[in-house]
Chain A
């Protein structure tokens, strides 16, 4: 190690190799990885290969979007939320009510649900800025429970414990009718998941996304390189709320039903588990986790319809004790990571 002895802040004297290597390294960060292609190809292949499994595929796509949105909060900004389902549930109710009383076209409902959930995210984001992890847990949990209570109390609007039904979305954009087998529904959810993931992917590789990870990694230093942490967290939380709301809207639209269960605490816990199974901080963890979680839950509810919660709990405990990092690291063994190791130095 030797330090180049020259006046500081004189950029041009760096060797061209260094500069071009730096450019290549930066580009490598955001390149499309092998597993990304596999995910989308598999998702489309499933449509053709598993025509009888449309409902569970749809469920996976919705849960995946929900989990990817949580990753923006947890994996990037580092905020543990126990109430992410507040936005999911709000989106579901908004989409359901809109379809029931005003517009039954799904994309309109999707956008309105996203916007309204985003507004709730923006309003509540200011409450999570202060305090420790503990106060954030309290706040997010409280907001989730409060939304559930609101839905329960406003039974005249939400149908209370019976849920909201009696609406059926019309053709998507006036073009694609929902069919009985849920094929249109799956493609619709998949398309929204794809667009949502691509948008959040762009955010992940932007200076904004990098600054979020900086805030998570070392908030004090982030402040010392001029990252305005609060502003960034507010924006990230709001965006996450938008996509969570959209995921809720998708559920309402594809099932033509909103159950008060969309705001239940276990959903917030489930989506945390989903994300942790798949790994946090790279978005696709939400998708991998959703596939795994939905299959397991489906299997468990066949074996033990009433007590699957026990096994979900057991899974959580085991996951943590074994070390979720170790489990989630399987992604690194996918082919692209090998190419990175070769291509690195």
Chain B
């Protein structure tokens, strides 16, 4: 299986004079567990924003399953199976987790435009939402307002919400940030257990997590792809260490 499912061609994004994404050409294979690492300010989140249509690129193309989606709105990309989580929680504060996930499922099932039928009458949606929330340990709080949930629970909801869209390509922007240390591996375990044909692109700072999870790693520095390779290649690459140490020193 070496079919390219997500690809960027010479992607550039400027903010004024600042080049946040510098000529990134990335290829992600179907079913890959691909990690994107790099020091702070390397443009990782900007890249995710370009991939998901939150930001328009200044130049270049984004292709999903061979089709150019560069100018497609976010919601249409989600419809085509590309979704993400956010580094900083982006939730509906006044919704309960149940409503949040139920809406995502309703949109996935294409009933979101239904004007007059109560959402509670779609029992399949409610059932699926309940089981997804249970899987993420959120069953006990599914009727609370999201805004009063502890941060860790909100973080889990953030990830569960991306799962609700049943993505074929899932972009995770530091999913473990803010999740208590002992639960991080469990979160990534759920991600790892996704069906083999689901592609995952992961941004993460925790190198242990990255090395245990990913099968391929791209290193982003100053908006450009610095190097790319297998876990073994990257973990033994002295230049990568230098980049990180140089930033941290």
Interface set, chain A 19-37, CB cutoff 8 A to B:
19, 21-23, 25-27, 29-30
A221–B90 contact, CB under 8 A?
Answer: yes
Is A132 in the interface zone, CB < 8 Å from B? no
Is A197 in the interface zone, CB < 8 Å from B? no
- What are 5 A-B contacts with C-beta separation under 8 Å? A23-B130, A207-B103, A210-B95, A224-B75, A229-B75
Output the nearest chain B residue to A2 by Cβ-Cβ distance. B137
A207–B187 contact, CB under 8 A?
Answer: no
Which residues of chain A are near B152, meaning CB under 8 Å? 1
Chain B nearest CB, measured from A345 CB (Å): 6
Knowing A218-B92, A224-B90, the reply to whether A211 touches B131 (Cβ < 8 A) is no
A22–B137 contact, CB under 8 A?
Answer: no
**Minimum-distance CB pairs A-B, first 9:** A223-B74, A22-B130, A14-B131, A26-B120, A225-B104, A226-B78, A221-B90, A3-B186, A207-B106
Which residues of chain A are near B139, meaning CB under 8 Å? 14, 18
Knowing A3-B137, A7-B193, A211-B107, the reply to whether A223 touches B120 (Cβ < 8 A) is no
Is A205 in the interface zone, CB < 8 Å from B? yes
Is A214 in the interface zone, CB < 8 Å from B? yes
Which residues of chain A are near B86, meaning CB under 8 Å? 220-221, 224
Which residues of chain A are near B142, meaning CB under 8 Å? 21-22, 25
Given contacts A199-B116, A226-B78, 14 further A-B contacts (CB under 8 A): A4-B134, A11-B131, A14-B139, A23-B120, A25-B142, A206-B114, A207-B117, A218-B91, A224-B52, A224-B90, A224-B162, A225-B161, A226-B107, A231-B113
A225–B165 contact, CB under 8 A?
Answer: yes
- The DSSP consensus for interface residues of chain A is helix
Output the nearest chain A residue to B79 by Cβ-Cβ distance. A226
CA distance A203 to B153 in the complex (A): 30
Interface set, chain A 207-256, CB cutoff 8 A to B:
207-208, 210-211, 213-214, 217-218, 220-229, 231-232, 235
Which residues of chain A are near B73, meaning CB under 8 Å? 223, 228
Which residues of chain B are near A25, meaning CB under 8 Å? 96, 98, 142-143
Is B129 in the interface zone, CB < 8 Å from A? yes
CA distance A327 to B190 in the complex (A): 44
Counting chain A CB atoms within 10 Å of each CB, the highest count among B84, B129, B166 belongs to B129
CA distance A329 to B226 in the complex (A): 55
CA distance A192 to B113 in the complex (A): 25
CA distance A29 to B102 in the complex (A): 13
CA distance A199 to B142 in the complex (A): 28
Which residues of chain A are near B187, meaning CB under 8 Å? 3
Which residues of chain B are near A218, meaning CB under 8 Å? 90-93
Q: Which residues does A use to contact B, with CB under 8 Å?
A: 1-9, 11-15, 18-19, 21-23, 25-27, 29-30, 199, 202-203, 205-208, 210-211, 213-214, 217-218, 220-229, 231-232, 235, 344-345
B-side interface size class: 35 or more
Is B111 in the interface zone, CB < 8 Å from A? yes
A206–B127 contact, CB under 8 A?
Answer: no
Which residues of chain B are near A12, meaning CB under 8 Å? 131
B119–A18 contact, CB under 8 A?
Answer: no
B98–A210 contact, CB under 8 A?
Answer: no
B134–A26 contact, CB under 8 A?
Answer: no
CA distance A194 to B128 in the complex (A): 35
Which residues of chain A are near B189, meaning CB under 8 Å? 3, 5
A203–B116 contact, CB under 8 A?
Answer: yes
Output the nearest chain B residue to A15 by Cβ-Cβ distance. B134
Interface set, chain B 61-100, CB cutoff 8 A to A:
73-76, 78-79, 83-84, 86, 90-96, 98-99
B98–A214 contact, CB under 8 A?
Answer: no
Counting chain A CB atoms within 10 Å of each CB, the highest count among B74, B83, B195 belongs to B74
Chain B nearest CB, measured from A55 CB (Å): 34
Counting chain A CB atoms within 10 Å of each CB, the highest count among B53, B91, B166, B190 belongs to B190
CA distance A208 to B122 in the complex (A): 13
Which residues of chain A are near B79, meaning CB under 8 Å? 226
A205 is contacted by which of B74, B119, B130, B165 (Cβ under 8 Å)? B119
A226–B75 contact, CB under 8 A?
Answer: yes
Chain B nearest CB, measured from A146 CB (Å): 29
Output the nearest chain A residue to B111 by Cβ-Cβ distance. A207
A227–B75 contact, CB under 8 A?
Answer: yes
B94–A213 contact, CB under 8 A?
Answer: yes
B112–A207 contact, CB under 8 A?
Answer: yes
A8–B99 contact, CB under 8 A?
Answer: no
A1–B183 contact, CB under 8 A?
Answer: yes
Which residues of chain B are near A231, meaning CB under 8 Å? 113
Is B248 in the interface zone, CB < 8 Å from A? no
Is B22 in the interface zone, CB < 8 Å from A? no
Chain B nearest CB, measured from A278 CB (Å): 18
Knowing A3-B186, A5-B189, A226-B165, the reply to whether A202 touches B130 (Cβ < 8 A) is no
